[in-house]
Structure 1
Amino acid sequence: MNQIIFGSIALSVIHALIPSHWLPFVTIGKAQGWGLGQILRTTLLAGAAHTLSTTIFGLLASFAGFQLAENQHIIAQRVVPLLLLVLGIWFIMQHLRGDEHRHIDEKIVKGKSYKQLVFSLVTVMFLSPCFEISAYFLSAGTMGWMSVATIIIIYNILTIAGMLVMVALANHGINRLKVHWLNHNEQLITGLTLCCLAIFNFFIEL
Structure 2
Amino acid sequence: MTPPDLDQTVLLSLLGAGFATAFLHAALPTHWLPFVLVGRAQRWSLPRVLAAVATAGLAHIATTAFVGGLIVLAGLALDQWVAGLLPYLSATLLLAFGGFYLLRAAIRGPQTAAGPQLDMPEPAVSHTAAFLGLVVVMAISPGEVLLPFYLNQAQEGLPVLGALTAAFAAGTVAGMALFTLLARAGWSVLRLERWARYEGAVLGLALIAIGLLVVLYQP
| TM-score, scaled to structure 2 | 0.58
Query: Could you tell me how far 1:7 is from its partner in structure 2?
Result: 3.9
Q: Where does 1:5-154 land on structure 2 (aligned, <5 Å)? A: 5-63=15-73, 104-105=94-95, 107=98, 111-154=124-167
1:8-49, Cα deviation, whole Å (9 max, x unpaired): 233212111122100110111112221111111111112221
- CA pair 60-128 structure 1, distance change in 2 beyond 3 A: same
Query: Could you tell me how far 1:64 is from its partner in structure 2?
Result: 5.0
User: What is the identity, as a one-letter code, of the residue corresponding to 1:58?
Assistant: G
- CA pair 161-104 structure 1, distance change in 2 beyond 3 A: farther
Q: Which runs of 5+ in 1 are unaligned?
A: 66-78, 84-100, 178-182, 192-206
Contact 1:62 1:141 in 2 (8 A): yes
SS at match of 2:141: coil
Q: In 1, Cα distance between the equivalents of 2:168 and 2:22?
A: 5
Contact 1:63 1:141 in 2 (8 A): no
Q: Which runs of 5+ in 2 are unaligned?
A: 1-5, 80-89, 105-123, 191-209
Query: Could you tell me how far 1:176 is from its partner in structure 2?
Result: 5.6
Query: Could you tell me how far 1:4 is from its partner in structure 2?
Result: 4.0
| TM-score, scaled to structure 1 | 0.61
- CA pair 30-145 structure 1, distance change in 2 beyond 3 A: same
Identical aligned residues as a percent: 28
User: What is the identity, as a one-letter code, of the residue corresponding to 1:38?
Assistant: R
Please tell me the root mean square deviation across aligned C-alpha atoms, in Å. 3.4
SS at match of 2:153: helix
1:104-157, Cα deviation, whole Å (9 max, x unpaired): 445155642000111122122211112211111011111211221121111111
- Does 2:170 correspond to 1:157? yes
SS at match of 1:132: helix
